[in-house]
Structure 1
Amino acid sequence: MLGLANLFKYHKATLIFIVLSCALYLLFGYGLARTESTKLLLLYVALFIFAFQIIKWSGFHFRLLVIASIVFRLLFLFAIPNLSQDFYRFIWDGRMILEGLNPYLYTPDSFILNDKFPFEQAQELYNGMGALSASHFTNYPPLNQLCFTIAALFSGKSVLGSVVVMRLMIITADIGTLYFGKKLLERLKIPSKRISWYILNPFIIIELTGNLHFEGVMIFFLVWSLYLLHCDKWKWAAVVLACSISVKLIPLMFLPFFFWWFIQNLKENVIANEMKQSVSNEKIASSRVPRNDVFKLISFYVIVGITTLLLFLPFFSMEFINNYTETVGLWFVNFEFNASVYYLARAIGYAITGYNEIAIIGKTLPVVSLVIILGFSFLKKDNTIPKLATSILLAFACYLFLSTTVHPWYIATLVILCVFTNYRFPLVWSLVIVLSYLAYSNASNNENLWIIALEYVVVFSVFIWEIFQKKKAASLLAAP
């Protein structure tokens, strides 16, 4: 009782903002349709303001912040996602696997349009997922499919039951991210309160827990992998990173960044040890890059590759490979949403040729992204976790800037990475990205390009300002 009294006495403002946030999260989860643009914007902005106040007034009372973050998530437990319909496809895939059917080999259209119903509620799920999802093969990797299957297994024939099970898995993953993220920050001598930027961020709570996007599970494995890597448990780090890839394919593009982690760190360690042993300069020079460096680097990539392939193995067939690569490829040449550089390139293409050049632009921009990723990977010596996280953050941000499709939940990875860096533009983006949902305010779901422009003007302004600030700081440090 005394503890509660002291908590209210010293954290009165924090508790008030927590209670107000609870009310708004309940309204967001159970009383909002995505077509209600004004209501959506007001609730979203208010939740960001309250989150800032909670962090500000709490004095980083860690236990209080953790309890608040979990309560906020649990408030969504019985809510049907209202900003995304992807969960219907999740449930479909899980039910397919329980029926002994490989979800990678069939589209929902192939059943329903032929009056075939592979399981109960197939028609309801088909109607809910929408025509775009129903007409394509699934692109969700095997550990994601395992989550869908667990939800189907424990929920029976209930759609809401499946939602609850999947939501509990995502909440558990966020708790895991909190645990390993805080431990990693402490090991890096970075203020551990930074983890609150992730766990209390309304964008993370709404998009992952509320809308059931499994980026939260992918992020958990990614942060755990970075923690293991910092603890010099690189073999387990490779296994866990493969698990992250097997939830979402995004971490595949991060693999080149680990090159300098092994080469530079191991090289420096060897040189330091040899210096301590007073070995001759000639011997030091001849062993600056020992075989063990290359062996560990290659072994890391081999473990990631083999583990990923083993996780895909239960679904493997030539037809699976064709369907999966075709579906993933469609994201670059068929779909467009909330893009930035691509929309500018598209406008130029229209002006020159008179029609949409997505087939050409969509294939060109990923090549540019690849060049940027390789440039960051091999030109910057990322031999510490903050340097590694910074390179991945900037490269992945450039990838999203160049993408034809940027759904809001895609930037969740940027939000967690910025916790370990000195960049804050992902936090700003997590606020203004709500503008992309205004496309659903009209029946045809057409985007207002002026609104998209406003979103990216804010994001690019902060991004460019931070880049120049970091360069200015670096030049001042380098000056004699």
Structure 2
Amino acid sequence: MLLNPSFLKLNKTPLLMVLLCLVFYWVFAYNLVRTDYIKLLSLYIALFVLFYKLVQRFKNNSSFLTYLAFGFRAIFILAIPNLSQDFYRFIWDGRMILEGFNPYLHTVESFISQGQFPVAQAQELRAGMGFLNASHYTNYPPINQLCFVIAGLFAGKSILGSVIVMRIIIIAADFGTLYFGKRLLQQLKTPVYHIFWYILNPFIIIELTGNLHFEGVMIFFLIWSMYLLYSRKWAWAAVVLAFSISVKLIPLIFLPLFFQWFTKQDASISYFNRISKLLGFYSIVGITTLLLFAPFHSSQFIENYTQTVALWFQNFEFNASLYYIAKAIGYSFRGYNEIAIIGKATALIVLLFVLAVTFIRKNESFIALITAMLLVLSFYYFTATTIHPWYLATLLILSVFTKYKFPLVWSFVIILSYLAYVNLNSADKSENLFVIALEYTVVYGVFIWEAFIKKAPRNLEA
């Protein structure tokens, strides 16, 4: 029995740590405003330290760590997200589909500005999401929209009810990631407890379960796909990868990296057959993704969707690193912000980096493939104009299978990005560049140490 008297007697201090986590998560979920940065930082730092100690203490007791992961997530069930308002748009999109509207063809503002309220609680949802979100077309892919629809089916007239349904979906996805992640780690002969650097991480619990970001669902499909690929079920892996792309588009950046996995593996078959498998893999991913988007297809959909996605490269900026340096240099010469130019240049640089990693770096083994995925995504985030905290979830899960721990460190210091909200109600709404510099100094320092200085074995013990 897990919690027998001898267990309790021998683990008084760790169980006190668990109790503190439960209290701190409850305060985080129900008694925190994101502009209260002192409480925010204090709670997050405390939770992160406790999380690290718990994983170290119980790394050989996966069952106990799993119960903790479930229990901590359960605390958030009835909480309205307090660090992000994106969920209001999720609810809007799901209810729009149930009302027979294509959510990609209409902005929220196009209805509200004309006094039209096509869904239940339309005015509350518009007020919650804010003008910026309401004035743009949705950019959430079809499987993500399906999650929103499910919330609408079960709670079509309750915001809290919709939140609960979406939260249950995200929690279920996390435990799917736990299941396939553990099996993949076992196959790779890597310590299984490494999966808890992701599953039990307060960053993941707060950003995904707490704030309802669907990176968790995308990651579930991604890890499932990688498990299938390692098991030589490449056709099914392609289908599941398409599902991952259809939650969030970010896995598209990984597609070129599969080249060597298919062309350098299984020397018992001809190179022509290996190329055929690769092309088959890409074809299945492409066709499945297109089929998932097909119900929403129209010429206006393509225009609206590409326009919305382009905004992230040419209009928005938040918590960036190298981009802010390039911006400052450009501003010193021209006297104005050149985000459109820098955004296009960055996209080209990232593409060239992906191709270099694809064809120059050796990505023949499975660990090498996942490491390549980690490095490519890291480069993209290092150069991006916008890095919201929840973006790091994908980096964190990939790092579980590699020697790199800088994403774990980043998941700790990323909380500093929320200090930007301190200025929202002031005349100066700009980010604190000193805080951003502190965040990235830590991240780049650890990354450079791990990538270029430290010599460590692949299966690094914590």
TM-score normalised according to structure 1 size: 0.93
What residue number does 1:277 align with? none
How far apart are the structure 2 equivalents of 1:292 and 1:264? 11
Q: Is the 8 A contact 2:396 2:411 kept in 1?
A: yes
2:256 match: 256
Q: Which residue of 1 aligns with 2:125?
A: 125
Map 1:340-355 to 2 at 5 A: 340-355=321-336
Within 2, Cα distance between the matches of 1:384 and 1:15? 40
Contact map agreement 2:120 2:156 (CA 8 A) in 1:
no
Task: Provide, for residues 187-239 of structure 1, a one-character-per-residue CA deviation record: whole Å limited to 9, x for no partner.
Answer: 01111010110111110110000000000000000000000011110000000
Instruction: Name the larger-Rg structure.
Output: 1
Q: Deviations over 1:35-70 (max 9, x none)?
A: 000100000000000001111222421110000001
Q: Matched residue of 1:265: which SS?
A: coil
Alignment-mate amino acid for residue 240 of structure 2: V
1:261–1:381 Cα contact (<8 Å) kept: no
Counterpart contact for 1:13–1:57, Cα < 8 Å? no
Residue 290 (structure 1) aligned with residue 271 (structure 2): yes
Aligned equivalent of 2:381 = 400
**1:335-366 Cα deviation digits (max 9, x unpaired):** 00000001001111110001111111111111
SS of 2:387's equivalent? coil
* Aligned pairs for 1:60-71 within 5 A: 60-71=60-71
**Pair 1:134–1:3, CA change in 2 (3 A):** closer
Equivalent residue letter for 2:169:
M
Please list every run of 5 or more consecutive structure 2 residues that lacks an aligned counterpart in the other structure: 458-462
SS at match of 2:18: helix
Partner Cα distance (1:10, 1:377) in 2: 50
Choose which of 443, 446, 450 in structure 1 pairs with 2:430: 446
1:465 and 2:449 are equivalent in the alignment: yes
User: Quick check: 1:147 aligned with 2:147?
Assistant: yes
Q: What corresponds to 2:409 in structure 1?
A: 428
Say if 1:418 and 1:424, in contact at 8 Å, map to a contact too.
Answer: yes
Secondary structure of the corresponding residue to residue 265 of structure 2: helix
Partner of 1:101: 101
Counterpart residue identity of residue 323, structure 2: Y
Distance across 2 between alignment mates of 1:90 and 1:204: 19
Aligned equivalents of 1:50, 1:425: Cα separation in 2: 19
Tell me which amino acid in the other structure corresponds to 2:371.
T
1:302 aligns with 2:283: yes
Decide whether the 8 Å contact of 1:80 with 1:160 is kept in 2.
yes
The aligned residue for residue 386 of structure 1 is 367
Question: Conserved in 2, the CA contact under 8 Å of 1:264 and 1:381?
Answer: no
CA distance in 1, matches of 2:401, 2:239: 22
Post-superposition CA distance 1:357-396 (Å, at most 9, x none): 1111111111111111111111123222211111110110
| Larger CA deviation: 380-389 vs 130-139 | 380-389
CA contact (8 A) 2:59 2:193 kept: no
- Higher share in helix: 1
Alpha carbons 2:2, 2:64 under 8 Å: kept: no
Q: Which amino acid aligns with 1:235?
A: A
* Matches of 2:3 and 2:320, distance apart in 1: 50
Q: Distance in 2 between matches of 1:13 and 1:242?
A: 45
Aligned to 2:133, the other structure's residue is in SS state helix
TM-score by length of 2: 0.96
CA deviations 1:133-159 (Å, max 9, x no partner) are 101000000000000000011012000
Q: Which string of whole-angstrom CA distances, capped at 9 and with x for unpartnered residues, describes residues 247-296 of structure 1?
A: 000000100011111111123x44xxxxxxxxxxxxxxxxxx53210110
Q: Tell me how far 1:2 sits from its aligned partner.
A: 8.8
Q: Structure 1 residues 147, 59: closer, same or farther in 2, change over 3 A?
A: closer
Equivalent in the alignment of 1:285: none
1:229 and 2:229 correspond: yes
Q: d(CA) in 2 for partners of 1:335 and 1:29?
A: 28
Name the aligned partner's letter for residue 212 of structure 1: L
The 1:306/1:37 distance shift into structure 2, 3 A limit, reads same
Counterparts of 1:132-171 in structure 2 under 5 Å? 132-171=132-171
* Shift in CA distance, 354/298, structure 1 to aligned 2, threshold 3 Å: same
- Letter in structure 2 aligned against 1:91: I
Distance in 2, matches of 1:14 and 1:301, equals: 48
Q: Which amino acid aligns with 1:364?
A: A
CA distance in 2 between partners of 1:32 and 1:440 (Å)? 13
Distance change >3 Å, CA 124–CA 469, structure 1 → 2: same
Structure 2 CA distance, aligned partners of 1:366 and 1:3? 52
- Structure 2: how far apart are the matches of 1:156 and 1:353? 51
Relative distance call for 1:402 and 1:59 in structure 2 (3 A) is closer
Of 312, 317, 325, the match for 1:331:
312
Q: Using a 3 Å threshold, how does the CA distance of structure 1 residues 114 and 425 change in structure 2: closer, same or farther? A: same
Instruction: Give the superposition deviation at 1:244.
Output: 0.2
**Letter of the 1:411 counterpart:** L
Alignment of 1:175-186 (within 5 A): 175-186=175-186
* 2:36 counterpart residue number: 36
**1:456 corresponds to:** 440
1:156 match: secondary structure:
coil
- The code of the aligned residue for 2:34 comes to R
Q: Within 5 Å, give how 1:341-380 maps onto structure 2.
A: 341-380=322-361
Shift of 1:3: 5.1
Q: Which runs of 5+ in 1 are unaligned?
A: 271-288, 475-480
CA RMSD of aligned residues (A): 1.3
